[in-house]
Structure formats: C-alpha cells, structure tokens
Structure 1
Amino acid sequence: MTSPYSHLFTRRTLLTSMAGAVAAGSTLVSAAPRAVAESDAGPTMDSTADLAAAAAQGLPLTIVNNSGEFANHSVHLYIVGSKGGRQVRVTRRGTLAPVKLSDNHAGGFTDYAIPMAARGKTTLRLPSMSGRIYVALGHKLKFKAVMGADGKVALQHPAGWVESDPNYPVLHDFVEFTHNASGMYCNTTMVDMFSVPMTIRLNGAKDHSTGRMRDGGRARVFHALRNHPDFSRLVVGERRVIAPSHGLDTGRFPQHYFDHYIDRVWHTYQNKNLIVRTNAGTFTGRVSDHRLTFTGPASVSFAKPSTRDVLFCDGALAAPNDGTTGPVAAALGAGFNRSTLLSHRKQPTTHAAAFYDTTVTNHYAKAIHAATTNGKAYGFAFDDVADWASYIEDARPRHMHLTLTPF
C-alpha cells in the first residue's frame, strides 16, 4: 500500500528551501506583502561563480501560451527565488542575478519581466534554485526590493488577495519549484488564490504532468464559489478567486466558519480514539483537558484549533519538520479541510470520494479539485496528504514544460 506521506519533499519543505531568511511580518504561506530577505552586499567572486554555474547547469524550460485569451506579447514571465542563501532572479538573457535595491527603477519597482517569444514556444533554462515562476497577463507585475527589519534586502512578492497591493488589478498566477542536485520538485498551487489555469510537465526518469483543468474548469470554479453564500465574496470579478484563509483575514470570509465542526470533533474524541497513521508509525489520540493528545512513537498534543488555524494549516495545527508532530498535524489539517474527521476515525482518509462530503467543508478546495483532470490540486497547505496535491518530482529531470491552458 502506498504511504499517505510518500512525497517527503512537499510544498511545505519546498517553501522552506525557497525562503532562506524571511523579512519581519511576512511569510511565504500566509502573509502579505511577501518579502524574502537576503543580503544586498555585492556578490563576491565565489558567489558570482556559483550563480553562473547554477545558470549554466539549468534545466530546459519550455513555456507555451495556449490561454486563448492573450497573445504572447501580453504574457510576462518572472522567475524569482533563492540560491545559496541569497535572493536571486533569472534575467531576460537567462542568467542568474542577485536581487538588489538598485534594481528598483521608475515608480520604485523592479522590472524583472522576461518576455515571451513573439510566437510559438518560449525556451529558457531554469537554474539550480528554489523559487516561483510567475505569469502576468496583460500587464506587468510590480516586485519591489526593500530593506528588511534585519538589515538585509528583501523582495516583496505580489499579494493578489490584498486590495491595496499594487498587483491586485493584474491577472497573474505562479507555480513553485525547487531544482537542485537531488532533482526537480514542482507544483501548481492554489493555496493563496486561483487565477490562471496552468499545467506543468516533467520529462526525466518518467514523463509526468499535473495541474490541467477540465474543459471550462476555470469557469466552473468561479461559478461554484460565486453561488455559495459563504464563499461568494472570495470571487474577484473574472480575475481570481481568493483562498478562504486570506479571505478570512481580509473580511471576505466568515471568521468562525469551521468552529461548530471543530467543536464536534473535540466532543467526539473525548469518548473514542482517533487513529493517525504516519511514516513514523501509528498514533492514537483522545481529547482530555481540552487537548487532543496522541500516544505512539512519541507523545503529541494539540490545542483546539480555530477556523483560521484550519484554513492556514497553522497555529494549533502547525507542522514542524520533526517526523512526529508534523505528520500528525498535517493529517488533522487535511481532515478538517476535507471534513473527514467525524466520518472516519482512522486518518488520513485516502479516498477522494469521502472528501468534502458535508455542508461545512472547504468548498474552495472542493471546487478546484473537481475542475482538474486528475483530481489533484493544492487547495490548502496540507493538500499533499494522501497524495492529492498537484505536485510532481523527478530525480533525473531532462525538461520542464509550463503551459497556460484555455480559460
């Protein structure tokens, strides 16, 4: 039987690899604006050589615009992230360059846009690094290099769920990746928002792909959520759908949406055991003194989470990379979002037919999964549990493809 935690290099570990140091007041998963801090000191000879070597060993990346809505000249690409503890970006010439304050120009923002080929495919090389490939349609994105509270330069990323963000009006989305000596790890993600339908494909030891929407899938997601009373305000015109986690923080989503379900879980497991199976072994939990406490390979205990904790998979459900608390927290977070904790006392539930089968559930994640051809998506941070995330990896990658699919 395949382990529910077969993918050890998940989006969460990918983001940790990408982050390096993070500027005060922001994170890579839940806060806005995003800023990833690095030193602005000029590159040493060694660091320059490292960046050049990373670019020279790059993985071929082909981008195809099949959106049907925008011509190539209206599609702008951005590849930003980290390499060797510093923030970097891929230039129009395909080289790797450090992010610097002096990159800010007119209007106080950088212009890191990489243009698409005039027609047909665009081919680049993806250096050894961790980061994101952003696509912006119709208008360019405004990234800003700033000085963080720790005295290091930080790059503010777009926050499409914040109305005051300069990129809020821009139609854009991104995929995440880590490319290193161990291979290529990448995903399409809707953890923050969903806007541009995209698919990724890796040729390597195997040929695999993920993220493709069914015909009309984007419209179905928008329609399903626009017609749900608790989720309707997450839909921003035809531009994007904001994840309920960010919607909660911006006043677009009910703050106590999951509270009654959480109370029922806590009450139910006062009187019977909750079983969680992980790679470390099997944990058995009960609620006592207001905490859900597990015994097994280690003693693991959780305070009752809030709706915000469930949606962000954080707070009381934070998952440290310790091999014990982390996997149990991930199973609980997935069980809450998929609403399987009351119907299945053995977690994680692996069969998608059991997911989202209650009135109170993460209808955002439900709609996105229903719209993909293989049923896989990253609708919340623990969606990798039981291998239902739009994530692929290859230890011997030869070529990556990113395709903007029809709207």
Structure 2
Amino acid sequence: MISRRKLLGGLAAGAAVGSGALLFSGQAASGTTPGASRKAAAGLPLTVVNKTGAYDNSSIAVYIVGNEGGRQVRVTPDGTLAPVSLSDNGPDGFTDYAIPLAGGGDTRLTLPKMSGRIYVALGGRLKFKAVADGNGNPALQYPAGWVESDPSYDVLHDCAEFTYNDDGMFCNTTMVDMFSVPLSIRLTGAKDQTAGELRAGGRAAVFRDLARHDAFAPLVLGEKRVLAPGHGLDSGLFDRDYLAGAIGEAWNHYTGTDLRVTTNAGTFTGRVSGGRFAFTGPAAVSFDRPTTRDVLFCDGALAAPNDGTTGPVAAILGAALNRSVLRSHPSQPVTDPAAFYQREVTNHYARALHEVSADGKAYGFAFDDVAGFAPYIEDGAPSGFTLTLDAF
C-alpha cells in the first residue's frame, strides 16, 4: 500500500535548498526481495518525446541526476554514469549537465541503473551546482522553483522520479513540490503501463482553478508554475494555520470515538488522549497533533519512518487530513475518491491536480500514494521507458 517513502539519498544533504520530495525505493515499492524478479538489463532505453506544441526540441534540455552506490551521479548524453565532481562547475560557478534533445522527432537515450530524477528545462538551462556535503563528498544543489533567489527560478522546468535497479524500474510523475510542465511516463516490459497524463487543457485548468481560491491564488506564479502549499507556507505565501481548524476538529472528535486504521501489518485502533493520538494493534504507535505544515509536507508529527508500523499509520493519517476525510470516516484509509476534498477548507492544490488527471491519479502531496491514487508504475522486467512533455 505505501510505496513512496524513501528519501533520495544524499539529495537533501547536498542541496542548499532541499526539495523534500520523496523518491521510490525499488525494493520497498515492489514488495519483492532481491532476485525475486528477472534481473533488469544494464541500461534501459529511454525515449523523450516533445508534445508541448509551445517549445521546439532545440529549446528543451534534459538532466538526469541522482544516486548510485552511495555517490551522487549524473548521466552524460551518451548514457554514461558519471560521478558528480566539484570540478564540474564552470566559470559561472555551475555545472553544464544538459542533455540536448534530438534535432527533430523523439530523442533516444540510455538510462543506467541508479535512483534519481529526470529534469526537463524549457526555454533556458538549469543551474545545478556541485558542492561538498557535510562529509566532504561531492553533491549537487538541485533547482528549487519555490525559492525566488534560486538561480533556476526563472527557468520553466519540472521533473519525474525513478529508481532503476536489479529488481526493475519504479517511477512516478511528481507534483509534490510544484506543478509546471505536464509530464507523462510510459513503462514497457512485462506490461505496458502509463501514468501522469492530463486531460486536454489540464495545465491551464489547474492555474485557473487555484487562482480562484483566495488562499491558493498566491501560489500561482504567473504562467510559469504553481507551488505546492507547503512551499508556499515556507515562503510566506500561504496561511500556516490554514488546516488548524480541521486538524483540531478531528483530534477533538476522536477523544470520544475510535479510529481504525488498516495497514499491511494489520488494523490499528486509536483515540486521542492528552492531545496525542495513540493506537494499539500490531504495535503501539502515537502522534502529537500536527500543524498545517506537518500535514502539507507529511512530516514533523506525521513523519513516516520505513518501519512497517508507525510509517504506514502516519501516511494514512496525513492522506486523510489532506483529503479532508479524517473526521468524517472512522475507518481509514478511505478508498472512494468521491469522498475526497469535499470541504471548503481542503488541499485544493491536490484536488485540482487530480481533477485534470486522465486517470484521476496525481502526486499532490507525499502521501498521495495511500490507497493507490498516485501516478506510480513499476515493472520487474522493463524493456523501455518513455518520458513525454505533453501539450500545454
């Protein structure tokens, strides 16, 4: 049930402005043990397709960066996995890791085994900076489109996330930090799967939708991007107490009635006592009342360790609060999307993204995979991966 929990190792440590976005761990995502599926090939064919209709191939660059074997790496245009080095910084102080698209048509690349992100930049180039992390090892400062002082702030960009290893390919399109470029993915192999596709006009619909909500309108940054409300909160663009009433209402309600939370480990039963939500069941787990920021970032009081007990319960509580169904549904997780986002005070950012998704799935917050509502696909025997920049 809970598949998206492992931080992209080293990214936050290496980044001066960490994104906080989570990345799949192949083994955790698939629920398999090493060797349980057919071993993946050494390099996975990657096709990048430009369907934007607004930018030609010469205006678009791809960056493939991440981690492999405990080191931070990037992919060269010929598909070579190269370690990040401080000497990669040029005279301007930034690296040039851009992979240009083909002069016309689709661009064919090779994806080595690694965990990382595929960034796309339209109409400009991203400024990754090689730095020394806390242990003196080479690392990267990643773009942070929610930070006005970030050197890549004015560049239209977005990313998809993946882990490709011996157990297969595990990938998603993410809007956990922001939404800018409509991206979809296709994974072929044992199956033929797609994720992330939006309905026609979906990008513009999200921008219009959120601009109509007073609390969310400041998150719409012109035509460039929409910030996730957690980053908006940190930037002073979103009310840090926006969900306080809904959180308090749920906490008060469950002082007098039970909440049942069913996970892969079993069913937990909890009540609030002394301000703390305490559960019994497969293990004893408990949570302080979260803040609005905790709910939006799925962190703090709702941090989800990869322990099989506290983590899954935290994820389900976080999803229920984002979807505005915790108070109204004493059995969690709720699996009917018709029940989600029905209150005026809700995560309208996530709601808007789900409404324009062709299959109803989106990563509007980090626990959006609860009950299977995230654009995540995996294959233990992948033969090809396609990233499409869809029409604006």
TM-score over 0.5 for the alignment?
yes
Query: Relative to 1, partners in 2 of residues 1:23 and 1:62: Cα closer, same or farther, differing over 3 Å?
Result: closer
In the alignment, which of 184, 191, 194 is matched to residue 209 of structure 1?
194
Q: How does 1:297-308 map to 2 (within 5 A)?
A: 297-308=282-293
Deviation at 1:339, TM superposition (A): 0.4
2:372 paired residue number: 387
Report the TM-score when normalising by structure 2: 0.93
Partner of 2:161: 176
The 2-side partners of 1:279 and 1:226 are apart by: 39
Q: What residue in structure 2 maps to residue 375 of structure 1?
A: 360
Specify the alignment match of 2:20 in structure 1.
29
Partner residue, 2:325? 340
Provide structure 2 residue ranges, at least 5 long, that are not aligned to the other structure. 23-39
| Distance (Å, rounded) in 2 between the aligned partners of 1:99 and 1:58 | 19
Distance 2:358 2:20 in 1: 26
Asked if residue 136 in structure 1 is aligned to residue 121 in structure 2, the reply is yes
Distance in 1 of aligned mates of 2:385 and 2:242: 39
CA shift for structure 1 position 92:
1.7
Amino acid at match of 2:297: F
Distance 1:28 1:234, change over 3 A: closer
How far is the alpha carbon of 1:56 from its aligned partner? 8.3
Question: What residue is the counterpart of 2:209 in the other structure?
Answer: 224
Task: Confirm whether residue 248 of structure 1 aligns to residue 233 of structure 2.
Answer: yes
CA displacement, residues 324-354 of structure 1 (integer Å, 9 cap, x when unaligned): 0000000000000000011111001011101
Give SS of 2:130's match. Answer: strand
Displacement of 1:125: 0.7
Q: How far did residue 30 of structure 1 move? A: 6.0
Q: Which amino acid aligns with 2:20?
A: V
Q: Is the 8 A contact 2:57 2:102 kept in 1?
A: yes
What is the aligned-residue identity percentage? 62
In angstroms, what is the RMSD of aligned CA positions?
Answer: 1.7
1:234 shift after superposition: 0.2
Contact 2:14 2:131 in 1 (8 A): no
What is residue 52 of structure 1 aligned with on the other side?
A: none
Aligned mates of 1:389, 1:214 — CA distance in 2? 16
The answer on whether the counterparts of 2:15 and 2:140 sit within 8 Å (CA) in structure 1 is no
The 3 A distance-change label for structure 1 pair 26 and 72 is closer
By how many angstroms is 1:149 displaced?
2.9
Of 95, 99, 107 in structure 2, the residue corresponding to residue 110 of structure 1 is: 95
Aligned to 1:109, the other structure's residue is in SS state: coil
1:93, distance to aligned residue in structure 2 (A): 1.9
After the TM superposition, which residues 326-365 of structure 1 pair with which residues of structure 2 at under 5 Å, given as runs?
326-365=311-350
Q: Which residue of 2 aligns with 1:34?
A: none
Aligned equivalents of 2:362 and 2:302: distance in 1? 21
Change beyond 3 A, Cα 1:21–1:228: closer
From 101, 111, 122, the equivalent of 2:86 is: 101
- Please say if 1:79 is aligned against 2:72: no
Asked if the contact 1:20–1:85 (Cα under 8 Å) also holds between the matched residues in 2, the reply is no
Deviations 1:288-319 (A, max 9, x none): 01100001010010000000000000000000
The answer as to whether partners of 1:309 and 1:315 remain within 8 angstroms in 2 is: yes
1:11 corresponds to which of 4, 10, 19 = 4
Tell whether the 8 Å contact from 2:11 to 2:18 is kept in structure 1 after alignment.
no
Corresponding residue SS for 2:371: helix
Please say if 1:63 is aligned against 2:48.
yes
SS at match of 1:245: helix
- Aligned residue for 1:369, secondary structure, equals helix
Q: How far off is 1:27 after superposition? A: 4.3
Aligned to 2:382, which of 397, 401, 404? 397
The one of 139, 151, 155 aligned to 2:140? 155
Unaligned runs of 5+ in 1: 32-54
**Matched residue count:** 376
- Secondary structure at the residue paired with 2:328? coil
How many angstroms apart in 1 are the aligned matches of 2:21 and 2:371?
23
